Amino acid sequence: MPLLGCIADDFTGATDLASMLVKHGMRTVQVIGAPGASDPVPDADAIVVALKSRTSPVEQAVAESLAALAWLRAAGCRQFFFKYCSTFDSTDRGNIGPVADALIAALGCGFALACPAFPANNRSVYQGHLFVGSALLNESGMEKHPLTPMTDANLVRVLSRQTDGTVGLVPFATVEQGPAAIRDAMTALKEQGRRYAIVDAVSNAHLAAIGEAAASHALVTGGSGVALGLPENFRRAGLLPVLSDPGALPDATGHAAVLAGSCSRATLLQIATARNHAQVLELDPLATPDAKTLAAQAIAWMQGKLGAAPIVIAASGTPEKVAALQQQLGRDAAGALVEHALADIAEALVTGGVRRLVVAGGETSGAVVTRLGVRRLRIGTEIDPGVPWTFAEGSGPSMLLALKSGNFGAADFFLKSFAMLEAR
Ligand code: ADP
């Protein structure tokens, strides 16, 4: 039976959390969207339900999160985790506060800690204030975010505006004293009637201590960082064996390919690097602004090229090209056109025998897994920070997928991904 049930407010955040749990010894499966009552429970120590609730209407975010919680409870999970972004991405209406309020009410636990800190990614919380590197959140660029502008770095204040409960703080000096002091401070806040405690953390040692202090909490909320301390609680309680390879994945024999729809700088560099080592097709949606024709070009090109050596098909363009297409079609239509073409191509790749596929781009990954009918990903070992190999199980084709958020990964990410599989 699974031990930890997690609800993540976006897809790549879910993978990030799942990867963290694997690294700390839990076999983890990511489920895409709230599962239905008849969906079988995967064989895993942790399950992460990936929602798209960060910016959806509050009522919808709450309803989907509660549905996910109900399913995870029925699956037998003993503790629950609500994962949001390490920059606390939300508006004054939510959705972090309303979703956490609803989860607390459903679990009847009355209290949860909130800690988005992720020092390995330069996110720290000090005296309740969230820093990105040395900048306060509201001076980090996040104040200009198009959907969730963060104009206040004081998380006690930010969360207070999103909940009808009250918010306290477990400050750095207490966190420094270790798990017992943190636990006592949280208990005291709960007894004072606080619903939340923002907990300071500037190092992984702090996160581990917070995790230990939260061993008996029904609900923990935060970024993927604070989850690093939770697996050890289950091991300590004799519920989680020490596994030699919690990220072990079944093999998938078949051809290899990369599909890129991200136009982020890291992805453009990865495509340029791959040109020296692999057959690369670069589509030009500006010259051919039609999804079916673009897909047909790629499908014609791939004939005779599929095999163990990866081919790369990219729609990605420079910022100038992207801007030109967006000007011609509008931003959403431009994105949808390219996503449609790449989903068609993904389908053709799988029909052609591809079973090892790297997809570059968050939205692009969403379009590809939806088209392939993938609902579940077993999480493997990381290729680069935040990007693991995964195995699609249940519905859809049984295959290995690496879904890369645009800016993640080193220059040689594509080739490194497949080399890692060969080395297994
Ligand atoms: P990232 O993770 O880098 O943000 P996404 O896949 O989430 O990548 O977003 C990239 C968006 O850009 C997608 O909607 C994709 O369809 C679109 N896109 C890809 N190539 C082009 C292009 N040449 N012109 C315009 N839009 C493009």
Residue 244 has φ and ψ, to the nearest 5°, of -75, -30
User: Are 378 and 42 a contacting pair, CB within 8 Å?
Assistant: yes
Residues 154 and 33 grouped into a single domain: yes
SS3 381: strand
**Does residue 324 lie in a domain region?**
yes
Residue 408 pLDDT > 90, yes or no? no
User: Are 252 and 246 a contacting pair, CB within 8 Å?
Assistant: no
Q: How far is the CA of 263 from the centre of ligand 1 (A)?
A: 5
Q: CA geometry: angle at 325 spanning 332 and 55, to 5°?
A: 25
Alpha carbon distance 85, 66 (integer Å): 19
pLDDT tens, residue by residue, 171-207: 999 999 999 999 999 999 999 999 999 999 999 999 9
Confidence of residue 280 (pLDDT cuts 50, 70, 90): very high
Residues 6+ apart with CB under 8 A from 423: none
From residue 121, alpha-carbon distances to 114, 223, 360 in Å are: 17, 11, 20
Alpha carbon distance 358, 364 (integer Å): 11
Residues 43 and 154 grouped into a single domain: yes
Residues 222 and 263 grouped into a single domain: no
Identify the domain containing residue 68 by its residue range: 4-236
Residues 189 and 324 grouped into a single domain: no
Most informative mutation of 363, 368, 405 for ligand 1 (most atoms within 8 A of CB): 363
Average pLDDT over residues 215-228: 97
Residues 262 and 148 grouped into a single domain: no
Confidence of residue 144 (pLDDT cuts 50, 70, 90): confident
* pLDDT on residue 394: 85
Structure tokens at 374: 């993938």
DSSP code at position 154: B
Residue 258 has φ and ψ, to the nearest 5°, of -125, 135
In the structure, which protein residues have their CB atom closer than 6 angstroms to any atom of ligand 1?
261-264, 267, 285, 315-317, 321-322, 325, 334-335, 338-339, 361-364, 405-406
Residues 6+ apart with CB under 8 A from 82: 6, 7, 9, 65, 99, 100, 103, 112, 219, 220, 221, 222
Residues 198 and 269 grouped into a single domain: no
Task: Please report the atom of ligand 1 found closest to the CA of residue 261.
Answer: 19
pLDDT tens, residue by residue, 38-96: 899 999 999 999 998 998 999 999 999 999 999 999 999 999 999 999 999 999 999 99
Burial of 108 (0-12, 13-18, 19+ CB in 10 A): exposed
Nearest CA owner, ligand 1 atom 3: 406
Structure tokens at 301: 């090109």
Confidence of residue 334 (pLDDT cuts 50, 70, 90): very high
User: Are 254 and 395 a contacting pair, CB within 8 Å?
Assistant: no
Residues 198 and 77 grouped into a single domain: yes
Sheet holding 123-126, edge to edge: 123-126, 129-132, 135-136
Confidence of residue 424 (pLDDT cuts 50, 70, 90): confident
pTM of this prediction? 0.93
* pLDDT on residue 78: 98
Residues 30 and 138 grouped into a single domain: yes
User: Of 344, 327, 349, 351, which Cα lies nearest the Cα of 290?
Assistant: 344
- On average, the pLDDT of the chain sits at 95
Residues 201 and 58 grouped into a single domain: yes
- Of all residues in the chain, the percent with pLDDT exceeding 70 is 100
The CATH number assigned to the domain holding 332 equals: 3.40.980.20
The CATH number assigned to the domain holding 167 equals: 3.40.50.10840
Residue 158 pLDDT > 90, yes or no? yes
Nearest CA owner, ligand 1 atom 25: 322
**Does residue 244 lie in a domain region?**
no
Average pLDDT over residues 253-281: 95
Residues 200 and 263 grouped into a single domain: no
**Does residue 83 lie in a domain region?**
yes
* pLDDT on residue 395: 83
* pLDDT on residue 297: 98
Residues 221 and 270 grouped into a single domain: no
Residue 299 pLDDT > 90, yes or no? yes
Nearest CA owner, ligand 1 atom 19: 261
Confidence of residue 314 (pLDDT cuts 50, 70, 90): very high
Number of domains in the chain: 2
Nearest CA owner, ligand 1 atom 12: 335
- Mark which of 205, 236, 267 sits at the end of a domain: 236
Structure tokens at 241: 């064996």
pLDDT tens, residue by residue, 353-388: 999 999 999 889 989 999 999 999 999 999 998 899
Residues 260 and 231 grouped into a single domain: no
Structure tokens at 13: 């955040």
Q: How far is the CA of 20 from the centre of ligand 1 (A)?
A: 26
pLDDT tens, residue by residue, 339-353: 999 999 999 999 999
**Does residue 245 lie in a domain region?**
no
* pLDDT on residue 30: 97
